[in-house]
A = this chain, B = another copy of it.
């Protein structure tokens, strides 16, 4: 998992990789692009992720300003995650990946 405590790289692509160069983070963004989700929903949707890893990623993405976290004072707990504006602006990257993946599958795929 990529952290943010190294100094910023000059190359903007490396900058993006520092914050998103990670399978789980990309998939978290994918899921949150369709709207706010609760912790449990995310966990179910991200097939196979463990609670520990999911919280770790969410915490770092929050620190990096990509994700915001809203805690409801309820029992049992309810916590909602959504993308910040900066997070939403990853839609372009997501869409490009989505398009490319589809195209690749058409050529080599299934």
Contacts and interface: CB of A to CB of B under 8 A. Distances in A.
Nearest to A19: B104
Given A21-B26, A86-B107, A96 B96 contact: yes
Dominant SS at the A interface? helix
A55 interface: no
Interface in A51-107: 65, 86, 89-90, 92-105, 107
Interface in A1-42: 2, 8, 11-17, 19-23, 26-27, 30
Contacts of A22: 21
Copies in the complex: 2
Given A90-B100, A107-B86, A26 B17 contact: yes
25 contacts: A8-B105, A8-B109, A11-B30, A11-B101, A12-B99, A12-B102, A12-B104, A12-B105, A13-B94, A15-B104, A16-B97, A16-B98, A16-B100, A17-B23, A21-B22, A21-B26, A86-B107, A89-B100, A90-B100, A92-B99, A93-B93, A93-B97, A93-B100, A95-B96, A96-B96
